[in-house]
């Protein structure tokens, strides 16, 4: 399948864009962690990078965007272990969580009370509430701005986002659907019979619309994953990256 190659006061302290670009282009950072942004409460948002930084095929895998959905972070840890030997012709980024404040609080939202997965520009809806507060405007939150900044700079070809607790892989109603379904078959967490429409302000909808990224969500069950499940999902993420490169 063809995936496009080129596919205020609350502003947090972070590395300047120029410095960050220099660090991330300098070479593989698999042995270290780089802070790419900070949260409302000044916690770091950290990335590990594996494979070949100059590779055209770029992958972003995120363990958690909602602080009360932690199991994806275990998959990220396993990906980091499996990817250490290096990947050929793949530039793989892993982020444990883009919502460290929500994680610390055990909350879906960030410290500003915003659902980060409703805070992106595509189909943004400022009227959302009842647990899905989108924020006052698109990218109002430092965490979502961090994601937007690296997405704009590196225009990822593939992006996998782990959630809970629906217990299935979500196949978007666009060209990414077959990619998500392949992940579901390989991981043992298949997609349903119907495609999954973009929710207002979602990160995967924005990444696909803006950069043609093959972005999709994997929804784990609302329980602790078994170690075999963690391993299978980590291996599937890497396998899928190799298949699509």
Q: Which two tokens stand for residue 45?
A: 């948002």
Whether domain 17-31+46-244 has CATH 3.40.190.80: the reply is no
- Residue 130 has a pLDDT of 76
With cut-offs at 50, 70 and 90, classify the pLDDT of residue 24.
low
Query: For residue range 39-79, what is the model confidence (pLDDT) as tens digits?
Result: 999 999 999 999 999 999 999 999 999 999 999 999 999 99
With cut-offs at 50, 70 and 90, classify the pLDDT of residue 97.
very high
Alpha carbons 43 and 40: distance in angstroms, whole number: 7
- Residue 2 has a pLDDT of 41
Is it true that the peptide bond before 165 is cis, omega within 30 degrees of 0?
yes
Question: Rounded mean pLDDT of the chain?
Answer: 89
Query: For residue range 113-136, what is the model confidence (pLDDT) as tens digits?
Result: 999 999 999 999 999 877 899 999
Does the structure show a pLDDT above 80 at 13?
no
List the chain domain ranges.
Answer: 17-31+46-244
What mean pLDDT is predicted for residues 218-245?
98
* % the chain with pLDDT above 90: 83
Alpha carbons 22 and 18: distance in angstroms, whole number: 6
Q: Which two tokens stand for residue 139?
A: 């990218």
- Residue 129 has a pLDDT of 79
Does the structure show a pLDDT above 50 at 4?
no
Alpha carbons 239 and 86: distance in angstroms, whole number: 13
Alpha carbons 65 and 63: distance in angstroms, whole number: 7
């Amino acid at each position: 399948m063809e995936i496009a190659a080129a596919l205020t006061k609350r502003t947090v302290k972070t590395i300047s864009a120029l410095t960050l670009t220099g660090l991330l282009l300098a070479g593989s950072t698999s042995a270290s962690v780089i802070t790419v942004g900070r949260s409302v409460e000044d916690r770091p948002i950290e990335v590990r990078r594996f494979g070949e930084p100059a590779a055209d095929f770029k992958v972003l895998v995120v363990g958690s965007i909602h602080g009360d959905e932690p199991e994806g972070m275990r998959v990220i840890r396993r990906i980091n272990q499996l990817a250490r030997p290096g990947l050929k012709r793949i530039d793989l980024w892993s982020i444990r969580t883009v919502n460290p404040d929500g994680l610390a609080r055990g909350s879906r939202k960030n410290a500003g009370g915003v659902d980060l997965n409703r805070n992106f520009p595509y189909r943004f809806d400022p009227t959302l509430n009842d647990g899905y507060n989108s924020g006052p405007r698109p990218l109002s939150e430092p965490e979502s701005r961090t994601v937007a900044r690296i997405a704009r700079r590196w225009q990822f070809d593939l992006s996998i986002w782990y959630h809970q607790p629906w217990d299935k892989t979500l196949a978007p109603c666009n060209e990414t659907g077959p990619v998500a379904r392949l992940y579901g078959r390989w991981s043992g967490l298949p997609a349903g019979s119907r495609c999954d429409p973009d929710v207002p302000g979602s990160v995967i909808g924005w990444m696909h619309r803006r950069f043609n990224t093959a972005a999709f969500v994997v929804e784990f069950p609302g329980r602790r994953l078994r170690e075999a499940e963690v391993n299978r999902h980590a291996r599937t993420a890497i396998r899928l990256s190799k298949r699509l490169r």
